[in-house]
Structure 1
Amino acid sequence: MSNPIIAFVGAGNMAASLIGGLRAQGVAASAIRASEPGGEQRARLQQEHGIATFADNGEAIKGAELIVLAVKPQVMKAVCLDLAPHLSANQVIISIAAGISCASLENWLGEHPVVRCMPNTPALLRQGVSGLFANPRVSAAQKAQAEQVLSAVGLALWLDEEAQLDAVTAVSGSGPAYFFLLIEAMTAAGEQLGLPRETAARLSIQTALGAARMASESDVDAAELRRRVTSPNGTTEAAIKTFQAGGFEALVQQALNAAANRSAELAEQLGQ
């Protein structure tokens, strides 16, 4: 894999995580640069990763083959319109902003190879997962380069249709919060059953971590793992039946539908 010059426009937490992941993979500091209005954050990136930083976006992208747009969706249009005059035709745009379509990016930036990504917050620990979609101008080699960037912080999965990014947002983009909610609820229930709150919290968190490891590393799916843990007429079956009697699966479906629909609504609003 060649190491293209990668420029980050915006250097918040997600961008800093990607930069750290790339450096850990052996990408040279000289191949990475970033623009960021905050002087303190620029200094931190220089100190931690040895990369060149800029206050001006146009300066940062000069000569870069990949440009990672890592600014908030609400300011993306203004950033893109300001950036457009500085772009050259062969530069690949990678957007990690939720809700900004390829069509909107092309409208603001001009016709470019564009990759949209939906990462999630565990990327901050390099345990993330991202859905990626490329417009038709992205070559196979450019797709490989974009995948290298996102896989620096976890799993990167390609999508066939851009609309599937709304589903990715619902499943994995928002997904960490669902697990946090379950941990909260299990902690509260454990405390109500008589455990100290700290003990209940540690039990819940470690159980979630262990279950995720088992699901990730097993050669069978989650449904089979659940069946293996659920003895007939046992304690687990009593809990599972209670979940199902309360409409657990249907509620999860409704929740993810709501998240996906909201993602599509925001895309329409932000792309104007």
Structure 2
Amino acid sequence: MANYKYGFIGAGRMATALACGLVEAKLATPAEIVASDPSEAGRAAFAEQVAGCTVETNNTKVSTSSATVVLAVKPQAMTAVLAGLGETAANGPLFVSIAAGVTLEKLEAGLGGDARVVRVMPNTPCLVGRGASGYAGGSRATADDLKRVADLLEAVGIALELPEHLLDAVTGLSGSGPAFVYTMIEALSDGGVLAGLPRNVAHQLAVQTVLGAAQMVATTGQHPAELRDAVTSPGGTTIAGLEALEQGGMRAAVVAAVKAATSRSRELGQQ
């Protein structure tokens, strides 16, 4: 019998966000959560955010005592982590990997071939309850396993079950996308400063503009092009700005950024 509902191997920011989401959604109490990390500072930060949880230095203790084990380590560290957990896979925990690019085949093989595994691609807005995640089940994952993972991810945002071959594209779009949006916010703010606004005013307006525009798309259900056209008057200010964006290649650059991030996710999975 597992002592904990959820165990985290790796206690970084994403693991902490997921654990806090579980507690907020009442899917687990802090006492039902355990995490391991080689970093003392990492363990301390996790324990502070998830007050009442247990922290460990030993990954095996987490794996053998948890019903669900979240593998929250970097892709480059996954092979070594899996090698240390293979003997515990027979105990029956569900393993949930959030490492970019690491395939279900590699996860199952690294755990000895008998493990129930779900591969997940979350993103950092999980930290504020606005995550966008995709997930795919391994060959032995059950419908109940997938429901458990969906509940975990929906505690911190939205979650979509997808075929595994699409998860690298999820990595390229929603996994890396927040960084692209941050760059857009920074550029909007810089444009405001160039136009004469104080920096703090430009920053606030840029943040709220992006937040409001995204909420308009989410709330109205209209295509972004429809909403754009609704504020684009003939000969007006917006069309002048849009022309500058087209001349600068913004659309092509964003598409290329998603494509490049997707390709890099595939490369990481092959290393």
TM-score by length of 2: 0.91
Which residue pairs with 2:7 in the alignment? 7
Root-mean-square deviation (CA), in Å? 1.7
Which residue pairs with 2:190 in the alignment? 188
Instruction: Give the CA deviation at 1:30.
Output: 3.2
Name stretches of at least 5 consecutive residues in structure 2 with no aligned partner.
none
Q: Measure, in 2, the Cα distance between the counterparts of 1:118 and 1:16.
A: 15
Mapping of residues 82-161 of structure 1, within 5 Å: 82-88=84-90, 90-111=92-113, 112-160=115-163
Which residue pairs with 2:37 in the alignment? 36
Which residue pairs with 1:268 in the alignment? 270
Q: Measure, in 2, the Cα distance between the counterparts of 1:186 and 1:46.
A: 38
1:146-171 Cα shifts (integer Å, max 9, x gaps): 111122211111112x1211111111
Instruction: Give the CA deviation at 1:102.
Output: 1.0
Contact 2:63 2:93 in 1 (8 A): no
Name stretches of at least 5 consecutive residues in structure 1 with no aligned partner.
none
Runs of 4+ in 1 over 6 A off after TM superposition: none
Contact 2:100 2:168 in 1 (8 A): no
Mapping of residues 239-254 of structure 1, within 5 Å: 239-254=241-256
Q: Measure, in 2, the Cα distance between the counterparts of 1:229 and 1:136.
A: 49
Q: Measure, in 2, the Cα distance between the counterparts of 1:45 and 1:261.
A: 32
Which residue pairs with 1:17 in the alignment? 17
Contact 1:118 1:165 in 2 (8 A): yes
Q: Measure, in 1, the Cα distance between the counterparts of 2:118 and 2:21.
A: 19
* Higher mean C-alpha displacement, 212-221 vs 143-152: 212-221
Instruction: Give the CA deviation at 1:25.
Output: 0.9
Which residue pairs with 1:78 in the alignment? 80
State the SS of the aligned residue for 1:138: coil
Q: Measure, in 2, the Cα distance between the counterparts of 1:43 and 1:178.
A: 31
* Higher mean C-alpha displacement, 200-209 vs 46-55: 46-55
Contact 2:87 2:112 in 1 (8 A): no
Contact 1:14 1:70 in 2 (8 A): yes
Q: Measure, in 1, the Cα distance between the counterparts of 2:67 and 2:241.
A: 53
Q: Measure, in 2, the Cα distance between the counterparts of 1:6 and 1:201.
A: 39
Q: Measure, in 2, the Cα distance between the counterparts of 1:250 and 1:68.
A: 36
1:24-74 Cα shifts (integer Å, max 9, x gaps): 111223322111223344344445431122211111222422110011222
Which residue pairs with 1:175 in the alignment? 177
Match of residue 215, structure 1, among 214, 217, 222: 217
Q: Measure, in 2, the Cα distance between the counterparts of 1:96 and 1:200.
A: 35
State the SS of the aligned residue for 2:11: coil
State the SS of the aligned residue for 2:258: helix
Aligned length: 265
State the SS of the aligned residue for 1:99: coil
Q: For residue 12 of structure 2, what is the amino acid of its counterpart? A: G
Contact 1:23 1:49 in 2 (8 A): no
